[in-house]
Amino acid sequence: MAKLHIKKGDTVVILSGDDKGVRGEVIAASPDEGKVLVKGVHMIKKHMKPRRQGEAGGIVEAEGAIYASKVALYCPKCGKGVRTKTKVLDNGKKVRVCAKCGAEL
């Protein structure tokens, strides 16, 4: 099964496109598609059908999926999006660390 380096709840920085440089929280990750949803990023208009009778349909704005390769995990210590690597602790537990400063992310 495909795995993403990004997971729900992560803070990421957008690397390319209109939202380049924007920081946001990952609200959903789809490893199968290799895509993520980042709060407030790549807003797209969605047409909603009325769910109940008498309710007006309309257009709502929602986050659109972006490729996980277009985002980098944010490192508070470096103050920017960074590459990550996996570090194995003495107890065998694996943690994600910043490839630059080594901070646990």
Tell me the C-alpha distance between 105 and 77, whole Å.
10
Which amino acid is it at 74?
A: Y
Q: Provide the minimum distance between the beta carbon of 16 and Zn ion in the complex, in angstroms, as a whole number.
A: 20
The footprint of Zn ion on residues 36-95 (CB under 5 A) is: 75, 77-78
For residue 24 the two structure tokens come to 């946001």
**Quick one: 43 or 101, whose CB is closer to Zn ion?**
101
Q: Looking at beta carbons only, is 37 or 75 nearer to Zn ion?
A: 75
Cα–Cα distances (Å) from 7 to 20, 51, 61, 89, 91, in that order, read 19, 31, 23, 20, 23
Distance in Å, CB of 99 to Zn ion, minimum: 8
Q: Which is nearer to Zn ion, 39 or 77 (CB)?
A: 77
CA–CA separation, 92 and 101 (whole Å): 21
Binding site for Zn ion (CB under 5 A): 75, 77-78, 98, 100-101, 103
